[in-house]
Amino acid sequence: MIITIIRVVILYLFVSAAIRIMGKRNIGELQPTELVITLLLSEFAAIPIEDISVPLLSSLIPVMILISLEIINSVISMKSTKFRNLSDGNALIIIKDGKLDQKQLKKLRFTVDDLLSALRQKDIFDINEVAYAIIETNGTLSVLLKSQFQNATKQDVKVKSRTDGFTCPVIIDGVVVKKNLDYCDINRDDIEKILKNKKVHKNQVFLMNIDKNKNAEIILKE
């Protein structure tokens, strides 16, 4: 019994440290690769607890390998947009300008019931109130309501009107995100013109957001 307790404590501390190295995320926020590694960690940790005859090291080594793979994956993802898209996938817009994109729903194998249920979890009971809805890479739903259904803020009191829309990340790590150009009705020439006016080269940009009115916000690489 004492040996079992000691093994459980060691594995608990080791796996806790491993998950901490991976970063602080809720289960619902995990990317696909992170979720797979989390499930495998629990499996490897359970083996020596269930069977005392199994050497403890036979579980610790696979855990270290998995964490190493996740760290390598994270580093490559930070450096390569293509690898990040391949590994984590892309966010998809399923409602744009208040119109439901049925093709995207079929692509995601997302039923209307699934969509309505996800909206209700965000206290939205009428799909007609939604201006934009996006399925993120971790499967969660992000929603932007139409202006008339948004809660008023202090800033709203000072302005006469607001426009429906959202900002698109058109440049990430110096790379133009092609799939987002159509979402914000913008082309490469518009981006180049904005960069030229701000005297910034594309490769210097860490993140460039732009809205449908072509208002741009640029964060430079450090």
Quick: pLDDT tens for 12-38: 777 777 777 766 555 555 666 777 777
What confidence score (pLDDT) does residue 159 get? 57
Residue 119 corresponds to which amino acid? Answer: L
What confidence score (pLDDT) does residue 167 get? 74
Any residues with CB less than 8 A from the CB of 3 and at least 6 apart, and which? 52
| Best CA proximity match to 156, nearest among 165, 164, 166, 147 | 147
Q: How far is CA 203 from CA 13, 143, 193, in A?
A: 42, 31, 15
What confidence score (pLDDT) does residue 155 get? 66
What confidence score (pLDDT) does residue 31 get? 67
Quick: pLDDT tens for 145-189: 998 888 776 666 665 555 555 678 888 888 888 877 877 778 888
Any residues with CB less than 8 A from the CB of 56 and at least 6 apart, and which? 7, 10, 11, 48
CB 94 within 8 A of CB 135: yes
What confidence score (pLDDT) does residue 202 get? 86
Q: What angle do CA 81, 173, 105 make, to 5 degrees?
A: 45
pTM: 0.57
Percent of the chain with pLDDT over 70: 86
Any residues with CB less than 8 A from the CB of 27 and at least 6 apart, and which? 35, 38
Quick: pLDDT tens for 71-90: 888 788 778 877 777 777 77
- Quick one: angle between helices 2-22 and 57-79, nearest 10? 0
Please state the length of the chain. Answer: 222
Across the range 209-220, mean pLDDT stands at 82
Identify the burial level of 109 via C-beta atoms within 10 angstroms of its C-beta, where 0-12 means exposed, 13-18 middle and 19 or more buried.
exposed
Quick: pLDDT tens for 37-55: 778 888 887 887 777 777 8
